[in-house]
Structure 1
Amino acid sequence: MSLSKSIIFSAIQPSGQLTLGNYIGTISHWMHMQDIYHCIYSIADLHAITVNQNKKLFRKNIFDTLALYLAVGVNPKKSIIFLQSEVQEHCQLNWILNCHTHFGELMRMTQFKKKSKVNSSNINIGLFNYPILMAADILLYQSHKVLVGKDQMQHVELVRDIAKRLNFLYGHIVTVPEVYIPNINGAKIMALLNPNNKMSKSDNNINNVIFLLDNHESILKKITRSVTDSDNKIFYDIKNKPGISNLLNIYSSLTGISIAVLENMLMNTTYKHFKLLVAQSISEKLLQLQEQFYYFKNKKNYLRDILDFGACVAKKQAKKTMKKIYNVLGL
């Protein structure tokens, strides 16, 4: 990869099936970014253990996540793909950043407050400390940009604050990253039955979520049942028509047609017919992805080789950053 290219970092937890929200907001852009940026894609297994994991299922999810990365067109010859836990420098930098982050800063993180309510029986320090490990992930590779969904923007602002603090104290030792959201409308896909909440793979109600491996029948059923409103007019109004706005986001993101054009096109379309159009566009896109996924899923040795090579390359960059930080700290 060219050293003149900006470095962009992105990561996804292997904590279950990825969703249409993950696809539209993040991974659908990965293939196109490979020729523009020096891309580093991590499978964030350390982040995933803030929730108790079944060992066998966890390992399966890791390799399934990698197969999905490849299915959307990530090329291991162009991009670095690695498993977070296989580069120990993430944990080393995490501790150092702990010592440069204020308790009050973490207390302000809204995701911790939300997740604490959902996981009230397991409010562990890892859940609280999550943004600092995220900061280590990003700063370790001197990332210029971070591809995240809108819900992660507060975390990236904290990463920027930590980076600026380090640079103020020790000179310019880390790059201050910028948030990169390639698709503003589609960056946050909402739950189908509760369009005021984000679509999440951990949702207790599977009818809220389109999973990337759902078949056409399941997709059609979920979209048909999705919450809309009673006036049968299709236009974008996130406050008063969150359900229809969410479906417009999905349809626009998958077809490449702007929402303004869709509003014109769908002016005389019923909600029922609109839902059929949305379901069809999802099915067509996911069928292509699924064919590739099952092809790569069965290549176990190839998948393992990719992770081994990716960890080796990632570790070289990580070591450079850690050497610089250890030097200024006197470690």
Structure 2
Amino acid sequence: MQRIFSGVQPTGNLHLGNYLGAIRNWVRLQNEFECIFCMVDLHAITVWQDPKDLVKNTREVAAGMIAAGIDADKHIVFNQSMVPAHAQLAWVFNCVARIGWLNRMTQFKEKAGKHKENASVGLFAYPNLMSADILAYKATHVPVGEDQKQHLELARDTAQKFNSDYGIDFFPQPEPLIFGAATRVMSLRDGAKKMSKSDESDYSRINMTDDADTIALKVRKAKTDLFPMPDSLDGLEGRPEASNLIGIYAALSDKDKALVASQFAGRQFSEFKAELVDLAVAVLGPINTEMNRLMDDPSHIDAILKKGAERANAIAEPILKDVYDIVGFLRP
């Protein structure tokens, strides 16, 4: 069976965009692939994290993934720092990848902004760690959003260069899995901005920890415009908030966006929002309940992550040993 690696940063506030754009797709891939799912806490500290929050957020993200349907018995769920091969292979890749490659990474430019001289070395080099995340397991496929395609290309380039440098066909060329529908869920307060955990307004997103009343309030307060619902996707031109809400409804109901537009054609947003509330609560409510149950028992989550790390180590350690032999590191 082909192998997937995918990771999510444990920085708290898993939201609807994370669920529709990533986690739900991971759940659906479990019957097709051998899956390795990781809370990438090494990536998280490329920017400052309060240690207590990092521990809490790692458990919260794990709980959210499991509550959403990730099967931690059948597949592997763990946090990155528990498997040394990630950091060890990343150093090898620091010596394989070229500075010019990293200089072209647009996400570093976006995150560092005008103060790139003050950014951490980790933030600059973390695409090499991402390559190590994938290739430490010889993953064949990686689910990625549009904003991560560039990093996967770097992983492919790094694998190819390693193979070429040492004259060996060792690392595979991992393929992207890109999901078109609902990969970009936008802010409930600004349809031009991606839904984000870093947005100051909690009303900009639906968190996976939100209860039914909070979900209802946020949907009712979601920004719309003065016009009724359009009858086609053409009618969404220049209406980003309307387009976003219709897209969310379509994703939650597993319907085509055009079909949803025709279903609600001509109706007022107040009517549409009422139905969106019912749908969102029906889909997210059980996840919220199970997530809270898991978070009330942190020792259970820790046990899942420990078992997952042991299974991940069992795959990664032999691959790293082979890499060390190929590179020429003397080992007892």
TM-score by length of 2: 0.92
Identity %: 36
Q: How far 1:121 sits from its partner (Å)?
A: 9.9
Q: How far 1:95 sits from its partner (Å)?
A: 0.8
Match of 2:67 in 1: 71
* CA displacement 1:243-284 (0-9 Å, x = unmatched): 222112211111011112112211122222222222322222
Q: Which amino acid aligns with 1:173?
A: F
Residues in 2 aligned to 1:236 and 1:188: alpha-carbon distance in whole angstroms: 17
* CA displacement 1:215-266 (0-9 Å, x = unmatched): 2333233323333344434343676222222112211111011112112211
Confirm or deny: 8 A CA contact 2:209 2:292 kept in the other structure.
no
Match of 2:46 in 1: 50
Confirm or deny: 8 A CA contact 1:93 1:136 kept in the other structure.
yes
Q: Which of 218, 233, 236 pairs up with 1:236? A: 233
Residues in 2 aligned to 1:48 and 1:118: alpha-carbon distance in whole angstroms: 21
Residues in 2 aligned to 1:18 and 1:138: alpha-carbon distance in whole angstroms: 22
Q: How far 1:112 sits from its partner (Å)?
A: 1.3
Let me know the Cα RMSD of the aligned residues: 2.0
Q: Which amino acid aligns with 2:9?
A: Q
Q: Which runs of 5+ in 1 are unaligned?
A: none
Match of 1:289 in 2: 287
Indicate yes or no: 2:295 matched with 1:305.
no
Q: Which amino acid aligns with 1:286?
A: L
Residues in 2 aligned to 1:151 and 1:161: alpha-carbon distance in whole angstroms: 17
C-alpha spacing 1:287/1:119, structure 2 compared with 1 (3 Å): farther
Q: Which runs of 5+ in 2 are unaligned?
A: none
Please give the residue correspondences for 1:140-151 in structure 2 after superposition, counting only pairs within 5 Å: 140-151=136-147
* CA displacement 1:286-308 (0-9 Å, x = unmatched): 21101111222223332222111
SS at match of 1:195: coil
Match of 2:16 in 1: 20
Match of 1:6 in 2: 2
Q: How far 1:85 sits from its partner (Å)?
A: 0.2
Match of 1:318 in 2: 316
Residues in 2 aligned to 1:119 and 1:47: alpha-carbon distance in whole angstroms: 19
Match of 1:172 in 2: 169
* CA displacement 1:71-90 (0-9 Å, x = unmatched): 01212221011110010110
Residues in 2 aligned to 1:176 and 1:95: alpha-carbon distance in whole angstroms: 19
Match of 1:256 in 2: 254
Q: Which amino acid aligns with 2:261?
A: E
Match of 1:200 in 2: 196
* CA displacement 1:92-111 (0-9 Å, x = unmatched): 11111111112122122121
Residues in 2 aligned to 1:94 and 1:250: alpha-carbon distance in whole angstroms: 37
SS at match of 1:11: strand
Q: Which amino acid aligns with 1:112?
A: F
Count of equivalent residues: 326
Q: Which of 105, 115, 120 pairs up with 1:109? A: 105
Residues in 2 aligned to 1:107 and 1:261: alpha-carbon distance in whole angstroms: 43
Residues in 1 aligned to 2:109 and 2:202: alpha-carbon distance in whole angstroms: 23
Please give the residue correspondences for 1:83-232 in structure 2 after superposition, counting only pairs within 5 Å: 83-117=79-113, 123-170=119-166, 171-181=168-178, 183-232=179-228
Residues in 2 aligned to 1:122 and 1:270: alpha-carbon distance in whole angstroms: 49
* CA displacement 1:14-52 (0-9 Å, x = unmatched): 111101000001111233322211000001111111222
Q: Which amino acid aligns with 1:45?
A: D
Q: Which amino acid aligns with 2:137?
A: Y
Confirm or deny: 8 A CA contact 1:236 1:244 kept in the other structure.
no
